[in-house]
Amino acid sequence: MSGDPEQPHRRRHRAHGVAALRKLVAATAVSSLGDGLVAVALPLLALRLTKSALLIAALSAATQLPWLVVGLPAGVLIDRVNRRRLVVLVETGRAVVVAVVAVLAALRRSSLPELYVAAVLIGVGDTLVYATSRSVVPRASAGQTMVRAAGRLTAAQSATLTFAGPALGGWLFSVARSIPFVADALSYVASAGLLRGAVSDAERTDGGAARARTEERESARGELRGGLGWFAGSRALKALVSCVASLAFCQAVVFGVLVVYATRQLHLDATGYGLFLALAAMGNVAGSLGAAKLHSVLGPYLTIVTAGCLAASGYLALGSTSDRVVAVVALGIEAVAVAIGNVASTAARYRIIPAERFGVVSNAFRMFVVGATPLGSLCGGALAVAYGTRTTFAVAGALQLVALVAVAVPLRSIRVTEPPEPALNP
């Protein structure tokens, strides 16, 4: 009886890919839950130390600033070293940093400079872990389209980072300031083990070809130059990063001072603020799960533009109200839109970037996007000081619509199509 001699080989690779994706989704869910707790607890802790909206927004910006300084060197490092060891080392380091913050919070010895240092160190770790973990996706998406794989990953992140984490974070902070930070430290430890397994399984899908490519690398300087040259020559990727960076800037304008709006305009306490974010973030989960269907109908270009317009409408609605229910609905619309846009843009990016340059090019992409975030946070803080948070939100919505008009034509260069594939059964 004749058969395909490559079939067992492909079956093993598919099994490794399935395992890698599952571990990556689990690692994302665990670490994002901890980050969601701290996303609420950190600004609330800062609010105990200062009443300045600008200083609180600067704390949010401090987490993203490392992307502007070490994003590209980190990308080169990711493409050259053992990625399994790297994720374990970095996640363990971040666990130690957050544990120190927990101890200081428990002793009521926290200070703004210490929080800024911790935020920067966590951000440095993110420059290394993000591209390392996301490099798993293209090789681990066996049996489903890249959009579905990105959708599962985004849904796991949304359910924990923007829903469960904030819902618990405000309440835990009201019980004891240190608890959210202790939980985040533990989440980094768990993430280290899961990510190590995910990277290992993903490497098995190409029979060690990725490791062989790493051993044959050119010099670090040449690799950096080659990656940036490839980025500069990709019209589709430049259009995509222009769009995503402009949307990230406008979102940061809003979220940099959202805690001020929630406590002063909506009159929410710590628990209420966490629930406010969690209720609105249900839209993140819904948007992530429904993104693949919308993408199949509209394609990447219209999906991204539609998501941007919906998010802008959410900002404008926030700027027009001090009603809690309206504010939750408005932020929920923004959450749905952001999730849909993230899935579409992420899937497009993974298809465009070559595997051998993933670290450098992916980090260069994210450097532009994340680099826009602290600028947006600081801009939002300055606007809130001068004009108030509601006016700040209205300005963010208007700026986002202008940005979408500006990038609409170049964004049409994105043409990412995939053949239909069966969905992956859990």
Q: Which two tokens stand for residue 125?
A: 């770790």
Which percentage of the chain shows pLDDT scores above 70? 87
Rounded to the nearest 10 degrees, the angle between the axes of helix 324-352 and helix 270-318 is 80
The owner of tokens 């079956």 is 11
Extended beta strands in 274-426, E state: none
What local confidence, expressed as pLDDT, does residue 325 receive?
93
What local confidence, expressed as pLDDT, does residue 5 receive?
54
State the average pLDDT over residues 80-88. Answer: 85
What local confidence, expressed as pLDDT, does residue 212 receive?
47
State the average pLDDT over residues 102-112. Answer: 91
Exposure string of 119-134, with b = 16+ CB inside 10 Å and e = fewer, is bbbbbbbbbbbbbbbb
Q: Does the pLDDT at position 138 exceed 80?
A: no
Instruction: Write down the mean pLDDT value for the chain.
Output: 83
Greatest mean pLDDT range, 68-72, 124-128, 321-325, 341-345: 321-325
Other CB atoms within 10 Å distance of the CB of residue 345: 23
State the average pLDDT over residues 70-97. Answer: 87
Q: Does the pLDDT at position 213 exceed 60?
A: no
* C-alpha to C-alpha distance for 202 and 83, rounded to whole angstroms: 11
State the average pLDDT over residues 26-54. Answer: 88
Q: Does the pLDDT at position 184 exceed 90?
A: yes
What is the CATH number assigned to the segment(s) 10-411?
1.20.1250.20
Q: What is the CA radius of gyration of the chain?
A: 21
DSSP one-letter string for 11-64: HHHHHHHHHHHHHHHHHHHHHHHHHHHHHHHHHHHHHHH---HHHHHHHHHHHH
Which percentage of the chain shows pLDDT scores above 90? 31
Q: Does the pLDDT at position 294 exceed 70?
A: yes
* C-alpha to C-alpha distance for 16 and 203, rounded to whole angstroms: 9
The owner of tokens 């602290």 is 374
> Residue 165 — pLDDT band, cuts 50, 70, 90?
confident
Q: Where are the domains of the chain?
A: 10-411
State the average pLDDT over residues 174-198. Answer: 92
Greatest mean pLDDT range, 142-156, 367-381, 396-410: 396-410
Q: Any idea what DSSP says for residue 357?
A: G
pLDDT, one tens digit per residue, over 314-348 is 999 999 999 999 999 999 999 899 889 888 888 88
* C-alpha to C-alpha distance for 163 and 169, rounded to whole angstroms: 10
pLDDT, one tens digit per residue, over 111-122 is 899 999 999 999
Q: Does the pLDDT at position 423 exceed 50?
A: no
State the average pLDDT over residues 394-415. Answer: 86
What local confidence, expressed as pLDDT, does residue 12 receive?
67
What local confidence, expressed as pLDDT, does residue 1 receive?
43
